[in-house]
Each structure stands twice: as C-alpha cells, then as structure tokens.
Structure 1
Amino acid sequence: MESWDGDGVRARIREMAARDPGLARFGADTHRYELSPGLPEAEIRAFEESHGIGLPVEYRSFVAEVGNGPAGPSHGLMPLTVSRPEADDEWAVDAEWREDRLPGRLAEPFPVTAPLPGRIGAPTDALTRGTVTLAEQGCGIFTRLVLNGPRAGQVWQIDPDWGGFVPVSPGFRAWYTDWLESP
C-alpha cells in the first residue's frame, strides 16, 4: 500500500486554513479546511466487498491514513462512506454520491476509451459507470476517480455542458497534492 504522510497533510491543511480565515478560496466555505478521521480497514474492505471492487491504492490509503474528506479540491472531497444517518443531510451526500452507490454500478467497466471534449450528448449516467465521485466543482461539474479498466486510478472531470469528460490527473495522489501545493 502506498502510504501518505497524514500528519504532513493535516499540517498543510492547517496552514492553508490559517492563511484563509475568511474562507475566500474556492470551495473553502464548504469544506472549511476540516478533515474527518480516516476510515478503519474493516469499513474500507466492507465497502469494496459490497461493491465488488478494489479501490485504487492512492485513494484507499488516503481515506485510511489521512481522512474521509471533506478538506480538498473544489467543494471538498466527498466521503467514501457515511456512518451517521444524519449525514444524509450534509452537502457531501448528494445525488451523484447516492447514484455511485447503487448496486453493481461501481463494478461496471468504465465505458470511456478516450477523452470526450465539449458538450456531451449521452446521459452522464452511462459515461460515469465504474467511477466514484471525488468532488463537486459546482454547476454540474464533478471530479471522478476511475475504478477499473485501462484507465483505473486516473482522475477525470465531467462537465456535460461545456467541458466534456476528460482526464485531469494521472492519479489521486497527484490530484490531491496539486491542491495542497496550490497558493
């Protein structure tokens, strides 16, 4: 398993929060630079087994060693799992999040073989199978992690109205680290 420096990530997030007390950075007013505790191995394994998948190592180790969201790019990292019933009302548990967890959806093959720039004609549900939502950018734009197939581990952005469905990072670590290192 590819390990994260959880203490280092948390320290960097605290620095970011100290430099942005008014939460002016995009998405900060949503995630508030807060990081939930990491998930126990048993909970991650149960999620994988219930969905018939194996999570990409970089992401899996992050949710175990660093945190289960929300501090992160855009409006924050969506949680892998929600253990509290009242969390159903929280911002991170939206329609995309619920759709990802429909039976069999995550285990389906990722159907996109090449980037789809521009306006998307097909329903996005058909394109996003085999991916899990990482973050919402607003205006119907989402960042997704590919779970299976030749593009497994890559991070893609779907903007059905203007930007298409395109890769934005070779992996979760690069995507999240870019956010941590951005001014």
Structure 2
Amino acid sequence: MVYPVNIIEPITAGVDEVGRGALFGPVVAAAVILPELDDLPSPLACLCKGGEITDSKKLTKKRRSRLANEIQTIALDCKIGIASVREIDRLNILQASLLAMKRAVLKLKYTPNLVLVDGNQQIKDLSIPQKVIVKGDSKCLAIAAASIVAKVWRDTLIIRLAKKYPVYDLTNNTDLLAVENQLLSGYY
C-alpha cells in the first residue's frame, strides 16, 4: 500500500472503547493512527510528551473535548466503531466491546501493521497483529487518544439521545446508578 509522505511504516493504531460500565446506550470504540511525535507541530508534540493525552476518565469534560478536536486534527486516521444495545444484550458486554473495536479498526483507510488494544483480550477474527495492553489508555499515546475520541463521541451521542428520552435526564445524570433506578422504577 502507498501511504502519504508523512506516514512512516510500520503503522500502529491504538484502539479503545467506552460505555462498558454504562447502563444506557451503545459501546463506542475509536481507532487512531497518530504521526510520529517528531512530525507534530511543537504545541501538539508538547501535549503528547507532557502527558496531557491520557486516559479519558482522568480528564475534565472540557479538556477531553479540546483534546479530541486536536487529536482528530493531527491523526493520520481516526475512525469510530459501535456495538448497539441489542448486540450488547445478544453477545455480552465484552464481546460487544471487541466488536466495536474491530469495526473501528476495519474502517481505517490505512491498514495498520499492528493494533494496540486496551485491555487483556485480543480482537477476534482480526487478521492484523495485535498487542493487548492492560490499562493501555494510561500507558500508550495512541490508545489514550482513542479513549478520548471515543468518550467525546459517545458523550455527544448521549446528549442527542437525552433530547429523545428526556424522562431519564441523561444530560444531568452522570451517576449511572440513578439512571438505572429510573429505568427500573418503570417496571415496579
């Protein structure tokens, strides 16, 4: 495959998912291919080297949003994969998460030589070499970038769904247990 000038082989993609602990909505994964740090403009290279791009759970909402925009600007490629609520129910949350990751990786316009996967499970039926990294979103820049992009994308989706389902107060209910209690209260 012929790559743009700024892509140096081997190409590595980081992939992470969000929404596994959520009680509402799909699992969303992002796959991100970042350029070499030396190819980044200085301010962005400083963000990367300074540890600002890290696990999305460690960042404020405002910081995540800003970083997600910057990541998508500098990334050589960045794609989203989703596993629906029905798929979560049918497969289980782990398999649905891996499916969302696989979908994100397969959407990349450049086939990576290696996929760095957050967690301890490889993506099934993916013909690309993989390396799993436990807590990879805190240890690996590409996985952390994927974590941030996936989190912001899913949060945006939940805000849109909140307008469709106002009874659950999803925009103000960051306590997922409160959402679960609201959902269950309809059954009793």
Fold-level match, TM-score > 0.5?
no
Structure with the larger RCO, 1 or 2 (CA within 8 Å, 6+ apart) = 2
Q: Which structure's CA Rg is the greater one?
A: 2
TM-score, normalised to structure 1's length? 0.27
Q: Return the structure number with greater helix share.
A: 2
